[in-house]
Amino acid sequence: MAGSPFWQNLFRPDHKQKKHVRDLWLATPIFSGVSANQCQQLVNDMAIRRYENTEAVFKLGDVGIGTGLIISGSVRICMGEKVLAQLEEGDFFGEVALVIEAPRTATAIAAGDTQIVFFLRPQLESLLSRSPRQGAKIMQNLAKVMANRLGSTNTLLEQSHVAD
Amino acid sequence: MWLIKHIPPMAKALICFTFVLVITSVLIWLLNPVIIPVLVSLALYVCLLPLHDWLTNLGWRRDMSAMAILFLMMFVVLVPGSLILAEFNEQAMLWQSKASIAGQSLNELLGLLSEKLAQWQFHIEVDQLKANILAGLVKDNGSFLSSISSLVMSISSSLLLVPFITFFLLRDFESLRNKSLNSLPNKYFELGWLMYFKVAKQTQGYVRAVLIQQSILAVVAASGFWLAGFDSPVILGLIAGVLGLIPYVGPALGLLPPFYLVLANPEVGFDAMYTAVLVIGVAYLVDNLLVIPLVVARFANLHPLVALLSIIVFGNFFGILGMIAAIPLLAISNIVFYQLLLSFSPKKFTTNVASFH
């Protein structure tokens, strides 16, 4: 009972962990160029959640509201039975939901005991109104990340067409 | 498990919505003794949040910023608020004491009306009508003026509590919200945040816009009553502003206090009623041209008939406070139910995007 994700999500010790989480976010392209202080302020309000092995983080078609960063453990991104990617500590996923209210386009499943920190759209919008410069920096970074993802997807599509 | 899987999405959404409704009702019931100060504080919190954000962005600590706003409120809200409420209480007692004079004037007015109508072959029971109007306006405990009076009295008695609740909301609301939403099970965590985000975004916009607009309405009405030579124009303007918070029926209710004043002061003459109608008419014309199309309709996205019926039903159960809260509550319920339905729908959204991001 005490070891269930519900109770651990409710009563988790997080002071030391939050510095580690800040460093993980600062290492991602989303927070490139954002000050450590600003990032720490955002991390203080972020939700850190624990998932059991094979527990769904989100499912295909769910409405997303934020991006997740893996603190420990790993996450499998699946489309039906097919595993599209296996993400590890420091990887992030679902960043489109930070910008628009879009459905999740794949299912994310925890592989092993996994901790994920979520950066949510309300936090980004709040940052944009409180500190527009830092907010704009994150938006710009997000645009770059998504442009890169689009580029990779196009390359994959091209390769599959050639293979056909 | 099999049963849960086979419950239709609409039924699942209805069950969850009922659960949310029950929890909200229990919360409101528990908060009943302090519901007015809590609601006033929440409205103030929403209005003061941009100032709080601006101060914290300048490098102020959250508690220091909230403290500075608390002191500001003491001077800007408490002092003028106490003066106005004292004036209101004095006027309310004066109005109640003039009920018999108002009765005589009403009798005279209805007599004139009855004579006019008799020319058109319409007959009215003057005594019965007079008794009903006076009972509704001033005599009964549940009358209009006593409802207004008790609402204002509740606000005045809780005036001391409001700045402190607002201070703690400014300081701690976000962390309380985060803790509450993060306590949701993993499965409903994003859905909970999404619903909160949508409801908060819409209600914050609504509360800010409506409060600003009603302040303008109160100033316009007070100026009009002052120019027309009415007694206590500030109180009449404030009542018009408070009643203006009730969409659609606010203008009609806003006319009752000035009408009663005319009846209670027959020396003013019945012609002053036309002036009152003109003043309220102009004030609400400005209000209706801006508030209903730009704020209420956009916020609630409700059919006017549904909105009107909800105002009447809520007003019947919860008085003037219920009438003011009817539209926001209905709109919030609409958002919550729609999101629940969407999340339980098996198809939800489908997309052809190849990327999983």
Per domain, the residue ranges of chain A are 5-163
Q: Which of A9, A126, A128 to mutate to test the interface with B (most CBs of B within 10 A)?
A: A9
Rounded CA separation B235/A148 (Å): 62
* Contact present, A85 and A149 (Cβ < 8 Å): no
Query: What is the CATH T-level fold of the domain A5-163, as seen in this structure?
Result: Jelly Rolls (2.60.120)
Q: How far is A33 from chain B (nearest CA, A)?
A: 19
Say if A113 is an interface residue toward chain B (CB within 8 Å).
Answer: no
Say if B122 is an interface residue toward chain A (CB within 8 Å).
Answer: no
Pairing of strands A92-93, A47-51: unpaired
Q: Which residues of B touch A11 (CB under 8 A)?
A: none
> What's the angle, vertex CA B86, arms to CA B323 and CA B231, rounded to 5?
80
Q: Which residues of A touch B181 (CB under 8 A)?
A: 47
Rounded CA separation B250/B170 (Å): 31
ipTM of the complex: 0.81
Nearest CB to A131: which of B57, B339, B342? B57
DSSP letter at B183 equals T
**Residue B245 to residues B7, B55, B288: CA-CA distances in angstroms?**
41, 30, 11
**Residue B168 to residues A149, B111, B239: CA-CA distances in angstroms?**
44, 57, 29
Rounded CA separation B136/B124 (Å): 18
DSSP letter at A103 equals B
pLDDT at position B149: 67
Say if B342 is an interface residue toward chain A (CB within 8 Å).
Answer: yes
Nearest CB to A106: which of B53, B350, B356? B356
* Contact present, B207 and B47 (Cβ < 8 Å): yes
Q: A66 and B354 in contact by Cβ < 8 A?
A: no
Rounded CA separation A59/B218 (Å): 51
Per-residue pLDDT for chain B (357 aa), expressed as one digit of tens each? Answer: 566 667 777 888 888 889 888 988 898 888 887 888 888 888 889 888 888 888 887 888 888 998 998 888 877 777 777 777 777 777 777 777 777 777 777 777 777 777 777 777 666 666 666 667 766 665 555 566 666 666 666 666 667 788 888 899 998 888 888 888 888 888 888 888 888 888 888 888 788 877 877 787 888 888 888 887 777 788 888 888 887 777 767 777 777 777 777 777 776 666 777 777 787 777 777 666 665 656 665 666 667 777 778 888 887 887 777 888 888 888 888 888 888 888 777 555 444 333 333
Q: Which residues of A touch B170 (CB under 8 A)?
A: none
Say if A96 is an interface residue toward chain B (CB within 8 Å).
Answer: yes
Rounded CA separation B98/B320 (Å): 23
Q: Which of A30, A114, A120 to mutate to test the interface with B (most CBs of B within 10 A)?
A: A120
